[in-house]
Amino acid sequence: MKISDVRFRTIALPLKNKLLHSAGAHPHFVLTIVEVETTEGLIGYGETGGGGFSLGPFIGYLRRQMIGEDPFNIRRLRWKVASPITATYYNQLLPQLWFPLETALLDIKGRALGRPIHDLVGGAVRTTVEVSAYLFPVEGAETYEDLAKLGLSLVDRYGFKVVKLKAGVYSPPHDADTVKAMAAERPWLRFRIDPNGAWSLAEALYVAREMQRAGVYIEYFEDPVWTMEGMRAFKEATGYPLATNTVVTRFEDIPHAFLKRAVDIVLGDPHWWYGITGFLELSASLWALGLELGMHSPGESGIALAAMLHAAASAPNLAYAIDTHYIHLADDVLKHPLEISNGVLRAPEGPGLGVEVDLNKLDKYETLYRDLGDYPYAGDDVVTIPRRKYRECRCHR
């Protein structure tokens, strides 16, 4: 059996609300779906993206390197397509290109053998994966009371036990009051706060002290400030655990974070860490150094989320509920969408990815992408780090 074709389709997947973040907004998700076909007619699916533009042209370029190869020889293909030398020139882009290709190859292998992907990468250590409530500021929820109410509605609907606030859109006092309002209503909730490095050290220390005064259960702060040295200073001043998906993005970054004692938790995901097998390599690397593992979400449909679940189910030292944007999707491309219940998702048990792609939905949202096109991750304003201008609201002037 050989690889006979590699195809891509770019889709625009609608969201329930425009999601605001410190650099701009997501009006919808642009996702690149990859199909790998074999000479025996097996088709595997993968997905990458979550930003605002298609990665399809790059996938098309890599196609020539994969045609005629053995789809089971995944490690050879990773080094052929995404070697460390090549990755040096493409930095974060190449892992994001390899992720859907590897997912599709593992999907093919699993379908051929009748085994789920987590069986192919060493076996699952858990059958369910805890998920966080990923709370974004949205249009129409301007006050901190409005945003807190939205967050609690997600908790009640899906049974979440941990909430991640996407901070850095409104002022630090607004973010602090949002968390305090939720904690006052549900004191058993755990929180993580992520301003994407938008705060100055003084602003980050202000929020940390507000959380301490209110007795809020903070799991960790995620990238409260920019740079590894800034993270170290915050950690030393507050004692709060620190998580990152910005200052540790490559395997080469891990020793620096360890030696500086700047980070406690690395938020990996298969998108940025060379697929599912790369994520498990990250898992082992962190284990050896006594650092902890979480899972970041760049935005995904059920295809990539299924891959994330196989990775999460197979990582023995995954210490925290994973992040996902899945609750914000207005629709999915699976025939049977994944269901979050009591704050957890089940790892798929069917062959390969264990999910069935709805080709009609792919057609529909491929057409929508042609209508909507790409969008920039950053908004129209010049965004500085630290951020010096926040979105105005009625509650903090």
Residue 45: both structure tokens together = 């699916």
Burial of 85 (0-12, 13-18, 19+ CB in 10 A): exposed
Which residue in this structure is represented by tokens 């050290």? 201
CB 384 within 8 A of CB 199: no
d(CA 152, CA 150): 6
CB 54 within 8 A of CB 28: no
Catalytic residue among 166, 174, 180, 271: 166
Catalytic residue among 296, 310, 325, 328: 296
Q: How far is CA 47 from the centre of its chain?
A: 13
Residue 55: both structure tokens together = 């990665």
Axis crossing angle, helix 172-185 with helix 144-158, rounded to the nearest 10: 40
CB 174 within 8 A of CB 393: yes
Residue 328: active-site member = no
Residue 260: active-site member = no
Task: Point out the residues that are catalytic.
Answer: 166, 296
